[in-house]
Structure 1
Amino acid sequence: MLRVIAITMFSIILFSEAIRASEFRLVDLTHTHDQDAVSWPGPNNKFNFTKEHRGIYEGGPGEGGFWLEFNYFQTPEHMGTHIDAPCHFAEGAPRVHQIPIEKLTGPGVIINVKSKVAANIDYRVAIDDILDWETKYNKIPDGAVVIMNSGWSLRYPNKTLVFGSDTWEDITSYHYPSWHEDTVDWLVKNRNIHMVGVDTTSLDYGPTVTAPVPFAAHRVLGANNITGIENVANLDSIPESGTTIYAAAFKLYEGSGSPSRVFATVPVDNPRKMRKNRN
């Protein structure tokens, strides 16, 4: 009898430890979507939020009124924190409503290049940056969400700072960091990834419009059915390894992109992976 009790107590302890080990906190990685949300300039790239009703509603059945709110909003697909569907730069590739939901989440891989961006605002994440991450944390896990952390989100939503230009209406004047096309090509060929993201406004660096191959990183990702995430926020609030990233995109029919609530789950009892990001 005592042996049965001991085994039972041991099982309870193991179960309790397993539950405790699975505890996590949620971290929001999304900029607020409003009239200040950033998108590339264009005639229709404006946000509109109209209050249809906000107050006491007295036109319904029953006695007395009650509080009621409902609104109308209009937004570009590629504004604020959002995803790029593969079709954005690849003909025939999946549109937003065709992206499998399991491809909108995965282990977080945060590539910290803040020190390199401090020396070169047009820095592009290199293959060596990926290999350096793997030296610290082992091979990128299958289904990963690989995101550049350049520290750029602190500039949001100031368009002059976000686009790195005093004339941000001119898309040929931009300066900000992002991915090198050779790096994303290496990732899709050598690792099994779900998404690639940035804390800047584009998966291609600022001068991409005048580059020999414009939007080269976008084109590589789209051709390989990889979803992108742009304008990711608060990356310094999560560790470089050990999280799970989610991009809860609006399931927009025929969409080439969608504003998204991007967030991370972070284990609360994992000191090795919870160490502070290096500057």
Structure 2
Amino acid sequence: MDTVLYFSVLLLTAVRPMYSAPRIVDLSHQQDDNAVSWPVNPPYNFTKLHRGFYAPFNIWLENNHIAMPEHMGTHVDAPVHTFKGTWRTHQIPIEKLYGPGVIINVKAKVESNPDYRVSTDDLLKYEEKYGEIPRHSVVIMNSGWTQKYLNNTLVWGTMQLLDSSTFHFPSWHEEAVTWLINKRQVNAIGVDTPSTDYGQSKTLPCHLIMGKNNVVGIENVANLDNIPESGSTIYVPVIKIYDGSGGPARLFGTYDDDPDKTNAASTATSSMFYTCFFIIPLIIKF
């Protein structure tokens, strides 16, 4: 038995399984004075309460105060944001705040039409390429709008920031949102623009449909070109604000850039253990 154990340990230490570490992509803009928010909202406020040596504990100490709207920068719309009686921010089940990442790339269409709305046809074409959108997905429009983020005039598509009738930016069509909810039971729907309804919307139908169905909205998503259109997992860690209608989120996605390597590593590891604990003992016995 000592001989079996010796050879097993020797093989385990000599052959190291090759695990593939996942890629991680930050999908959030930073929160600061420039963070995009509806123009009528109060501004972001960051106040230094203490920054320096703190004699009572003989340490360097920093402590700040922040004040900001819930719906600012990269943030979540809780369903109650637009539909009374649905989930408030602290009530959103944690399992609804992540899912398979589905990135719908409409950048080419937006170039010629800043009022473009993602259609059901766009979703069907995505499925032709990548297969059926998984249930409980986090589906996000990539319009390329993130490149405009630090310029309010470009983000809102107007010089008249206090007149919402002049807004021009892309988003979702209500028929596509309805299809995602009814046909694919998605967890969340997002955009890289300021709203899950396009700039010229007068009635916010996508917000209403998502709210009514307890589907999370995500706005001002960043860095969508850095994550694959299919094959990722996206996490939506919104601050758990009690009684809130939304809140800022450090959105991020993970993916394996070499899935074949992961499968190979898994197979190699299984084979190694099988050899250690089944084949070697048989060889020594006979």
The answer to whether the superposition gives a TM-score over 0.5 is yes
Extract unaligned runs of 5+ from structure 2.
261-286
Q: Measure the CA separation in 2 of the matches of 1:95 and 1:157.
A: 29
Structure 1 residue ranges (4+ consecutive) displaced by more than 3 angstroms after TM superposition: 1-6
Give 1:45 shift: 2.4
- 1:126 aligned partner: 119
SS of the residue 1:80 aligns to: coil
Letter of the 1:254 partner, please give it: D
Q: Which amino acid aligns with 1:223?
A: K
Q: Which of 1, 26, 29 is equivalent to 2:27?
A: 29
> Which structure has the larger Rg over C-alpha atoms?
2
Residue 46 of structure 1 aligns to a residue whose secondary structure is: coil
Other-structure match for 2:133: 140
The equivalent of 2:37 in structure 1 is: 39
Q: What's the counterpart of residue 172 of structure 1? A: 165
Q: Deviations over 1:153-193 (max 9, x none)?
A: 11002110100001112111100000000110111110121
**Bigger shift: residues 184-193 or 145-154:** 184-193
Which residue of 73, 81, 87 corresponds with 1:88?
81
Q: Describe the SS at the equivalent of 1:55.
A: strand
CA distance in 2, matches of 1:77, 1:29: 18
* Residue of structure 2 in register with 1:49 after alignment: 46
Aligned counterpart, 1:160: 153
Match of 1:257 in 2: 246
Per-residue deviation, 1:16: 2.4
Normalising by the residue count of structure 2, what TM-score does the alignment of the two structures yield? 0.85
Q: Which amino acid aligns with 1:39?
A: S
Amino acid at match of 1:119: S
Query: Structure 2 counterpart of 1:167, which letter?
Result: Q
* 1:111 paired residue number: 104
Mapped partners of 1:183, 1:142: distance in 2: 15
The offset of 1:9, in angstroms, is 6.0
Give the match for residue 231 of structure 1. 220
For 2:128 and 2:167, how far apart are their aligned partners in 1?
A: 33
The aligned residue for residue 277 of structure 1 is: none
The amino acid across from 2:163 in the alignment is: D
Equivalent residues, number: 257
Aligned equivalents of 1:267, 1:83: Cα separation in 2: 26
- Find the residue that maps to 1:147 and give its secondary structure: strand
SS of structure 2 residue aligned to 1:69: strand
Q: Partner amino acid for 1:233?
A: A
Residue identity (%): 52
Equivalent position SS for 1:221: helix
Report SS of the residue matched to 2:206.
helix
2-side partners of 1:3 and 1:187: how far apart?
56
Q: Answer yes or no: is 1:218 the counterpart of 2:215.
A: no
Higher share in helix: 2
The 2-side partners of 1:190 and 1:91 are apart by: 24
1:119 deviates by 1.1
Give the CA deviation at 1:218.
0.5
3-state secondary structure, aligned to 2:133: coil
The reply on whether 1:196 has 2:189 as its aligned counterpart is yes
Deviations 1:184-240 (A, max 9, x none): 01111101211000000000000013xxxx100000111111000000000000110
Which secondary structure state, in structure 1, belongs to the residue aligned with residue 201 of structure 2?
helix
Q: Tell me the amino acid that sits aligned with residue 30 of structure 1.
A: S
1:43-74 per-position Cα deviation (integer Å, ceiling 9, x unaligned)? x421100000001111x15xxx3210000000
- The range that moved more, 250-259 or 44-53, is 44-53
Structure in which a larger fraction of residues adopt strand: 1
Match of 1:274 in 2: none
Structural RMSD (CA): 2.2
Distance 2:219 2:42 in 1: 16
AA at the equivalent of 1:99: I
- Distance in 2 separating the partners of 1:263 and 1:9: 38
Q: Which runs of 5+ in 1 are unaligned?
A: 272-279
Mapped to 1, the partners of 2:59 and 2:211 lie a distance apart of 49
TM, length-normalised to structure 1: 0.87
User: Could you tell me how far 1:39 is from its partner in structure 2?
Assistant: 0.6
- Secondary structure of the residue that 1:54 maps to in structure 2? strand
